Amino acid sequence: MSNKKKLFLTGANGLLGQKLVQQLVEEGKFEVIASGRGECRLPGDGFTYVSLDLENTEEVDAKIRNISPDVIIHGAAMTHVDQCELNQEACYRANVLATKTLVEAAENTGSHFIFVSTDFIFSGEEGPLAEEAEADPVNYYGETKLEAEAIVRGMKGLWSIARTVLVFGIAHDLSRSNIVLWVKENLEAGKEIQVVDDQYRTPTLAEDLAKGCILIAEQTATGIYHISGAEMMTPYEMALEVADFFALNKALIKQTDSTRFTQPAKRPLKTGFVIEKARKDLGFEPKTFRTAIGILSKQIILARS
């Protein structure tokens, strides 16, 4: 029998989930039990996969009791902001009720519960934001994540919240694109793109977010941590950086602002995080945006080969 601590994670088939499993298996410090909806879409081995519907209370309770994990990283969520606005009941079930069910299961097994949250709990009037900044979401997605945070903060036992910002990366068998790929593909095709210059974020490489969550787990660090990139940038600046890196035509990138776009959900204008606490307490150090593009460019080549 392994004497390693057991780490259970949700959302394993997603971008963050895949990066978490990969890093955890490589580091070998935990026995990894990955869960997701439906079949396992993760490449590789070195972990156990459990199919789990987080909205089925009995199933969650039974499986968590059976596994009895030392740590739970809850990364699964409905994150498509416009879909959340349009399908509020589904969003509430996925983001609030599923979290409540998992928290109750974690209380029963005494597991350290790590919840992945978002900059979208903030209003967007000022940034970058530290952990104690006041939350005031402007869309339904943000509201559900804030409500879930409150459930986590009220739990009996060890809890942590890892908030993040604009996560990008590539993973196996994933359909959602990200800003780097979107810019690269459009410019390579010679298409003009409109990119906003009035929203500010600290874009986060998925590998860095995974690393931050693992540092919290390894150090049993509790409380709230802001885990993101360190550079405050607009999507327009990000697009220019991508064009620059891949030597693509910057003239195709047209500057615009968010008033020109109609989306079902409002976006906070200025968020981004101050990450000093994570740096100091956890030893967290994110990649620069330029380095992150370099990592993605290698992964794109590997994915094609």
User: What share of the chain has pLDDT > 70, as a percent?
Assistant: 99
**Could you give the CA distance from residue 171 to residue 295 in angstroms, rounded to a whole number?**
12
φ, ψ at 10 (rounded to 5°) = -105, 160
Average pLDDT, the chain: 96
pLDDT at 173 over 90: no
- For residue 18, is it left (φ>0), alpha (ψ between -120 and 50) or beta? alpha
Q: Could you state, in order of their start, the residue ranges of all structural domains in the chain?
A: 5-170+203-229+274-287
In whole angstroms, what separates CA 50 from the centre of its chain?
20
> Would you state the pLDDT for residue 305?
77
Quick one: tokens of 93?
């079930």
**Which stretch of DSSP H or E encloses residue 215?**
helix 206-219
Please say if the pLDDT value at position 15 is more than 60. Answer: yes
Q: Is the per-residue pLDDT at 215 higher than 90?
A: yes
Strands 204-205 and 159-164: unpaired
pLDDT reported for residue 304: 84
pLDDT at 7 (0 to 100): 98
Distance (Å, rounded) from C-alpha 226 to C-alpha 274? 7
For residue 3, the model assigns a pLDDT of 86
Rg (CA), the chain: 19
Q: pLDDT tens digits, residue range 71-83?
A: 999 999 999 999 9
Please give the pLDDT value at position 177: 85
* DSSP of 10-62: E-TTSHHHHHHHHHHHHH--EEEEEEESSS----S-SSEEEE--TT-HHHHHH
| CATH class of the domain defined by 5-170+203-229+274-287 | alpha beta
